[in-house]
A and B are shown apart, each in its own frame.
Chain A
Amino acid sequence: MDSAIRTRGLRKIYNSAPPAGAVRGDASAARGKRNKEPKPQIVALDGIDLDVAPGEIFGLLGPNGAGKSTTVGILTTRVRPTGGTAWISGHDVWQDQTAAKRQIGVVAQRPNLDFSLTAREILVFHGAYFGLSSRERTERANALLDRFQLTDRADQLVRGFSGGMMQRVSIARAMMHDPQVLFLDEPSVGLDPQTRLLLWEIIREYNRKGRTILLTTHNMEEADSLCQQLAIIDHGRIIASGTPSGLKASIPGGFVLRLRFGRHSSPLLERLATLPGVTEVRPSPDAGVDLYAGRGGSLIPEIVNAAAAFGVELSDVHISEPSLENLFLHHTGRSLRE
């Protein structure tokens, strides 16, 4: 059986134009033709391989600018890949765009609703684009408006909607033609906690119908509770993938203690590595140390004692329990929120 989503060696390099006005005017005229200079290139994706099985909720987790939206852009035919290939249910998304588009529903990061229409018309016309009969369109639109708690505002132009309401209309629209694969790019950004829970419930419900869902997020909790498979992406590369629990179990120790000392001391680092339960010691900038360990708070007295023995003062401690956040930190040396 075909993967719902498959990519091989996906690369994207953006040739960004120089900033407007930067190369215009007398300066460039005086120096003659300067437009032969190579444009700055931004590598957004650097060889992404993904396999998403049908019926899976798959999460792409990474910080802003990691390449999540570019990946979704290519998979949804909106971005031309520089290299590599992507398939949706066996259809090459670049060579066979129309067939791929039939399979997918897309919720973009920013609301891109048709502002000339009402919420109901957006759903009904979307259904019409996908060839639904007039009866199917009306019935599905009504059901979705109801499910997304939009019935009272259904016949108003979406121009005046709040961000959260627009987001709900976007998701309802993406589900309107009952696509096999649903893409949600940062679906819960800007939603209040209540709407977020409604969204999660709707995503799980849609998944129970056997549909595949790919969502991007930088929210650990969302990735952890919603996704069955995850890929962690950073600087256009996948740095780890697996189930949320499998990924968390792969971090040495599980706990991370981010420590900061008054000054750097190599003997202290060696001493810390010998403390019971500590699996890895990594120095970080500004006399900091990341300690991967099988326990958390109970290590503190021993750390303080060890530091005192070397005449170093402990100035800051942050303890985090086993989480995907720690996994990201382990692989990149950076926090997801940095």
Chain B
Amino acid sequence: MNGKTFLALLARDAHVARRNLVPLLFQTFLQPLLFVFIFGRVMVGSGYMPAAYKSLLLPGIMAISMVFTGIWAVAMPLIGEFQFTREIEDRLLAPIAISWVAVEKVIAGLVQAIVAGLVVIPLAWIILRPGLELHMANPVLFVCITLLVAIFSACGGLALGCSVDQQHIGLMFSMVLTPMIFFGCTYYPWSALGKFPILQKLVLINPLAYASEGLRATLVPQFPHLSLPLILAALAAFDILLFVVGLRQFHKKAVS
């Protein structure tokens, strides 16, 4: 690999992200914070939801923010740049193997996903307190899970971005991302699906379910959650699978 070229590719993405900072911030944080406000503050404050729901909600919101930011940050530019304008061409022609161009996109995406996840915690804390009970018992585990979730989101973005055409972006949202959120154990713990045994098994094919449950396990372990070894293994498997698929799709798009 050629380090200078790789850093220059990263610098380009950082430069573009900086230029679009304000829309990027709204896009990343507005929706999760509105959700936190309505469900964590309004619904709990008015007594429709128990106070404990605040703490249960936060890891799920963090998972959504990370996964969406990562997918969005990688998939949307790729979809645009692989269209007929072929904007990505100058990077494909850079003196570096084209797989590294895909890896660079993943790294840029996972950094944004991590930032999104870490910023949501203090922001949500400001909105939700008092009554928010976070117990991070094992910081190393938290870092591991955050990293695995970030990688999954960025690799998911790579796989989707290289498989979806511009005219199908709307479909990608309604057919892939929306069901993923609602069946991703984000607004409720996995154990809450106990009364829907078939659905409870089905959601296990959704990587976002492991992301939410994983963050729940490290931030609010007082609530029931999936077992940690299962979460770690599933997230690692999804990371690898999506990276391999994404890389293959990237090559298909890049070389005719």
Contact = CB atoms under 8 A, between A and B. Distances in A.
Interface stretch (A98-106, A290-298, A308-316): A98-106
Nearest to A111: B85
A80 B92 CA distance: 14
Contact of B84 (A14, A110, A113, A114): A110
Contacts of A214: none
B94 A101 contact: yes
Interface in A98-146: 98-99, 101-102, 104, 106, 108, 110-117, 121-122, 125-126, 128-131
A228 interface: no
A76 interface: yes
Nearest to A130: B95
A113 B255 CA distance: 18
Given A102-B95, A128-B11, A129-B95, A112 B2 contact: no
Contacts of A112: 85-87, 89-90
A113 B87 CA distance: 5
Nearest to B98: A97
B5 A80 contact: no
A114 B90 contact: yes
B97 A78 contact: no
Interface in B1-16: 2, 4-5, 8-9, 11-12, 15-16
Interface in B224-256: 254-256
B256 A101 contact: no
B250 to A, nearest CB: 14
B256 A79 contact: yes
Contact of A98 (B2, B19, B84): B2
B93 interface: yes
A54 interface: no
A129 B255 contact: no
A101 B93 contact: yes
Contacts of A102: 95
B2 A114 contact: no
Contacts of A125: 8, 11-12, 15, 90
Contacts of A173: 90
A51 B6 CA distance: 33
A73 interface: yes
A126 B16 CA distance: 14
A279 interface: no
B256 A73 contact: yes
Interface string B16-37: 1001100000000000000000
Contacts of A207: none
A101 B95 contact: yes
A76 B93 CA distance: 8
B15 A131 contact: no
A77 B92 CA distance: 9
Given A116-B16, A117-B16, A121-B15, A98 B256 contact: no
Nearest to A131: B4
A78 B11 contact: no
A98 B16 CA distance: 25
A151 B190 CA distance: 59
A63 to B, nearest CB: 21
B8 A128 contact: yes
Contacts of B85: 110-113, 115
A10 to B, nearest CB: 15
A98 B87 CA distance: 20
Given A98-B2, A98-B97, A121-B15, A129 B256 contact: no
| Of A76, A79, A101, A129, most B-chain CB atoms within 10 Å | A129
A102 B2 CA distance: 12
A129 B15 contact: no
16 contacts: A14-B256, A77-B92, A77-B255, A78-B255, A80-B255, A98-B95, A112-B86, A115-B87, A116-B87, A125-B15, A128-B11, A128-B12, A129-B9, A130-B5, A130-B94, A130-B95
Closest 8 CB pairs of A and B: A128-B8, A129-B94, A112-B86, A112-B89, A131-B4, A116-B16, A102-B95, A101-B95
